Structure 1
Amino acid sequence: MSWNLFKGGPKKQIVPKTVERDFEREYGKLQQLEDQIKKLQKDMKKSIEADLAMSKSAVRISSDLLGNPLCEPDADFLQMVTALDTAMKRMDAFNQEKVNQVQKTVMDPLKRYSSVFPSLNMAVKRREQALQEYKRLQTKVEKYEEKDKTGAMIAKLHQAREELRPVREDFEAKNRQLLDEMPKFYNSRTDFFKPSFQSLIRAQVVYYTEMSRVFGDLAQQVDEVQLSDAEREQENEARLAELRSLSIVADD
């Protein structure tokens, strides 16, 4: 029944608890960072898609208005809608520039940063595999050490120790490398992303500055008579009352 000779784990604590806690803490921070990066990528993608959809919809609406019979009998109204269409196309062009900038300076770096995590996770997996092999061989050595020291058993113990040595060294090297590099990778996140989000802020500032100009120009063209909101609402209500007085819309 030799199959259960090495069942169970080693009695010796082969990885100090403090080292294991340090490893779990550092890897846990990186797992959380990976989740946050994925969420940020997803949210940024949604934001970009929403921005593009908004400006494209605005262009379609202004274009539809230009082809609408509403504009035909009124030259002033046609001029106003033409100004709106021009403004919407300018907005769409500036929005596309902003999106291109965000894609280049934020989304692409996020993608490159995310590409590191699979390699990191694989390194952790290899470390775990090395640890399990280390534990298996350490258990094997301990079992032989407990046996009577016959010639055959001493030979087996010597062979088991020889098998254990490179496996232990391999695990310790992997463990040491990860404990050294995981904090460095985690601490590099600010230096990596700070330029990206500075660029994001600049792109937003440029875009909304241009939008202020676009809509300022539009306001001057379409609102020659400056009315307050209350005055405009009163004017609309008066015109609506005129429409309601027509026989074709009167209630039966």
Structure 2
Amino acid sequence: MKSFLSLGIGKSTPTIEPPKPASGILPHQEEESLANLWVDITKAEAGCCKLSTEIKNYRNALKDVQDSEEKLIRDLSNSGLAVYSPQLHQALDEYLSVTLEMKPKTEETSGAVQLVLGDPIKQYHSLYEPLDSFRRRRDAQLIALQKSQDKLDRLKLKGKRTTDVLVERDAAQRQLKDINKQLLTESKKFHSLRQPFLQPCIQAYVQTQVDYYGTANSHFTSQVQASRGVHQIKDAEYESIIGDHLKKIKSLNIVAM
């Protein structure tokens, strides 16, 4: 069985095979604890898989926003409207200036998001493979034990000698119990380490967002303030002009659609 890491990031429902049930063979408390723990692991792996997809979507969104702003400036510049409006021409120059200033930050943020959260999630996923190897060993041993038990039952029905098979069955059962305890221990360790491993990654991710949007807000605010200073427009007058422009934009058919 492959973990969802080997199936590729981006799947919203990872295939994680649970340990085979061994009711009546293994201690009930261990059996129940392992089953419940595996449910939690499956849910957590599915959540991380979705998070990996969202990281990819977010990085694409950053690039799309940057590309869209650059395209908007090109389209407005190529429309010829700026030739007839010095104010529009200056606004485009100012908008272009801010957009170009933000491009390195956009690329930096995209790379940082992958570095602080995308890559660590993939690295943690890889730790599931050794755990799944324990699970496969445990399931294989369970099958071997069941075969020994079936052989023992057949010999008993036929009234034949069962000593050798009984020794074989008991040895298989002891080995299964040992492997099951190892799997339970490793499963608990794997699941308990996820939160302390990912928490600083998520904190770093949030910091990249604060830095990115803080930088964008600072650039645009500074540019607006500089532009208003050049034109010597008072706050009330500036708000009135912007309000009028927004009303005209909202009244356009293309906006209504």
Please give the TM-score of this superposition, normalised by the length of structure 2. Answer: 0.76
Give the whole-Å Cα distance in 2 for the aligned partners of 1:137 and 1:107: 46
Match status 1:61 vs 2:75: no
Q: CA deviation at 1:19?
A: 1.9
Moved more, 139-148 or 90-99: 139-148
Equivalent position of 1:106 in the other structure:
117
Say if 1:63 and 1:85, in contact at 8 Å, map to a contact too.
Answer: no
- Residue from 169, 172, 176 that aligns with 1:167: 172
Task: Tell me if structure 1 keeps the 8 A contact 2:131–2:186.
Answer: no
Contact 1:80–1:221, Cα closer than 8 Å, also in 2: no
Which residue of structure 1 lines up, in the alignment, with residue 147 of structure 2?
136
TM-superposition CA deviations, 1:174-223 (whole Å, max 9, x none):
20111111111111111110111111111111112211211112212444
User: Cα distance 1:235–1:17, how it changes in 2: closer, same or farther (>3 A)?
Assistant: closer
Residue identity matched to 2:191: Y
Distance (Å, rounded) in 2 between the aligned partners of 1:232 and 1:37: 44
SS at match of 1:72: helix
SS at 2:26 equivalent: coil
Looking at structure 2, the residues matched to 137 and 67 of structure 1 have their Cα atoms a distance apart, in angstroms, of 81
Q: 1:59 and 1:28, CA in 2 relative to 1: closer, same or farther beyond 3 A?
A: same
Quote the residue 2:98 is aligned against. Answer: 87
Checking the alignment, whether the CA contact within 8 Å between 1:83 and 1:218 is kept in structure 2 is yes
Distance in structure 2 (CA, Å) of the matches to 1:235 and 1:100: 37
Q: Distance in 2 between matches of 1:236 and 1:37?
A: 42
Structure 2 residue identity aligned to 1:129: A
Larger radius of gyration: 1
Q: 3-state SS of the aligned residue for 2:25?
A: coil
Question: Separation in 1 of the partners of 2:40 and 2:111?
Answer: 32
Name 1:46's counterpart in structure 2.
Answer: 57
Deviation at 1:137, TM superposition (A): 0.8
Percentage of identical aligned residues: 21
Report the RMSD for the aligned CA atoms in angstroms: 2.4
Between the aligned partners of 1:45 and 1:98, the Cα distance in structure 2 is: 13
Unmatched runs of 5 consecutive residues or more in structure 2: 1-22, 249-257
Matched, 1:219 2:234: no
Unaligned runs of 5+ in 1: 1-11, 239-252
The whole-number CA distance in structure 2 between the counterparts of 1:86 and 1:52 is: 17
Identify which of structures 1 and 2 has the higher relative contact order when contacts are C-alpha pairs closer than 8 Å and 6+ apart.
1
Q: Which residue is 2:181 aligned to?
A: 176
Structure 1 distance, partners of 2:241, 2:97, is: 27
Residue matched to 1:96? 107
Moved more, 163-172 or 30-39: 163-172
